[in-house]
Structure 1
Amino acid sequence: MSILPQGTPAAAPDDARPLGEGPFLPPGAQIDWHYRKPGWQPGEPSTISPMRVVRDDENGLVAWLAPGTLQESQGAPDGQRVRTVPLARRWLEERTRIVEEWWGNGVLRIAPAGLPWSVWLFWSETTGPEWTFAGWYVNLENAHLRTDHDTYSSDHILDVEIDPDGVIHLKDEDELAAAIEQGRLSPEQAAQIERHADAAIASFEAADWPFDAEWLGWRPDPSWTIPELAGLGELRRRVT
């Protein structure tokens, strides 16, 4: 499912296996969710989110990103978030390693085995017994490869937003166009990403399992603590 020719599909370790192949982790176990550029090398910036496993089986991975989680992220040269870089040079600037706290409420992420996207469920209100569902976010990416406690992918820039009432929007089309202009992607690669978006929308319209209504009523185990990512303390000292 990779559209990017450099390196392994998700710049994953040599012993990584596809999602859906055991051994699997039990609910509540920590798994670190990585986004790396194609051809990633050790020490280069990446995004790493420590999460709690909700379900891990032959269908894929479901994991919970709790509010307040500290994660390693990719920053602009000045240490700010990448989105602070003007679009006209966003894919030309070097990236740095930063730490940031996951903002807002928690997110349930569902990565179907073998497919080039993951489905993220957002809630706008989580303080009462009835959470307010805010919609689905389909992150287009390489099909995941994983080791026992980590999963790896590469982000494809374009995304799909689906409102609670089912209205569908493409997101970051301007970033995709900039990525072509700045040499991050070829026109052929961008066209493949757009086909993946169409396939993800078809999956939503078919009510495939990542979009099943059961997930809207899912809630995290109240005993779960916020997982911690190894090495964050050292990284924070290095970038602050």
Structure 2
Amino acid sequence: MPQTTATALLRWISDDRISSVYQHYVIEDSERCIALWQPAGTVGRVAVGERGGPRGRNMVPGGWSGSYTEHEWTGDGVLRIHVPGQPWSTWRWLTADGWTEHAYVNLETPWTRTGLGFDTADWILDVIAEPDGSHSLKDEDELAWAAETGKFDAAKLAAVEDARRRAVAAVEAHAFPLAADWDAWGALPAEPLQLAAGWEIVAPQPSRSPSPTLD
């Protein structure tokens, strides 16, 4: 696919506020999938407040201070693929030696299109997919903490479990995009991105355009 200049915000929403947000290049936006590329050096924002959990990185209920801090995405760039309607996105990192062999299946609410890009809500639990179709789970202890503190109620926990079962089945079946040729998404831009104006507005008006904002 040709290199693109289209960009979109991807925002993770928690308790009606932004948990984290980064600007991405839009590599594909079709009925098949939404592919967003985040190069190293991209500067986003993360919520500031009281955190807890097994590794001290989860915002405690009611712990947000009302402010955000800058956060630079370091290391390798990441391509995030979301199939519309699925409760997860699939991530792979592009290293100096090529794409990582494993994929990171991030359980989350199906992406919602906004006038600035896409919103989702992270469900903490992740599935690490190996090339042979095997898998392992990540952050089960943080999900248990979310249940114990009331951050996730019974309905949300049931949704996470359903997403886990579906995601594991997709991994075992080598479903798209796991077995796709990730090189087919073309030469990916290396220039880091800055956040678009209005990133902090939680509920922007839906876009009338089929694609997010253009730079």
TM-score range for the pair, normalised by the shorter chain length: 0.7 to 0.9
Structure-1-length-normalised TM-score: 0.71
CA shift in 2, pair 1:165/1:101, >3 Å: farther
Structure-2-length-normalised TM-score: 0.78
Map Cα deviations across residues 24-66 of structure 1 (whole Å, 9 max, x no partner).
xx9331111011114x1xxx44311100011001123101010
Among 28, 34, 39, the residue aligned to 1:55 = 28
- 1:215 aligns to what? 182
Q: Which 5+ residue runs of structure 1 have no aligned equivalent?
A: 1-25, 233-240
Ranges of 4+ aligned residues in structure 1 off by more than 4 Å: 81-85, 216-219
Q: Within the alignment, does 1:110 sit opposite 2:81 as a pair?
A: yes
User: Which structure carries more helix by proportion?
Assistant: 1
Q: Within the alignment, does 1:162 sit opposite 2:129 as a pair?
A: yes
CA shift in 2, pair 1:82/1:122, >3 Å: farther
Quick one: distance in 2 between partners of 1:112 and 1:51? 17
Contact 1:91–1:178 (8 Å) recurs in 2: no
- 1:121 aligns to what? 92
Map Cα deviations across residues 191-230 of structure 1 (whole Å, 9 max, x no partner).
32022011012112222222133016655335x5322103
Quick one: distance in 2 between partners of 1:133 and 1:31? 24
Alignment of 1:73-222 (within 5 A): 73-77=46-50, 86=56, 90-92=59-61, 94-95=63-64, 96-123=67-94, 125-126=95-96, 130-215=97-182, 218-222=185-189
The Cα of 1:99 is off from its aligned counterpart by: 1.1
Alignment of 1:23-62 (within 5 A): 27-38=4-15, 40=16, 44-62=17-35
Quick one: distance in 1 between partners of 2:145 and 2:6? 39
CA shift in 2, pair 1:202/1:85, >3 Å: closer
SS at structure 2 position matched to 1:210: coil
Contact 1:62–1:111 (8 Å) recurs in 2: yes
Among 182, 195, 213, the residue aligned to 1:229 = 195
Quick one: distance in 1 between partners of 2:183 and 2:136? 20
Aligned residues: 195
CA shift in 2, pair 1:137/1:82, >3 Å: farther
CA shift in 2, pair 1:210/1:48, >3 Å: same
The Cα of 1:154 is off from its aligned counterpart by: 0.8
Quick one: distance in 1 between partners of 2:184 and 2:132? 16
| TM-align CA RMSD | 2.8
Quick one: distance in 2 between partners of 1:210 and 1:163? 13
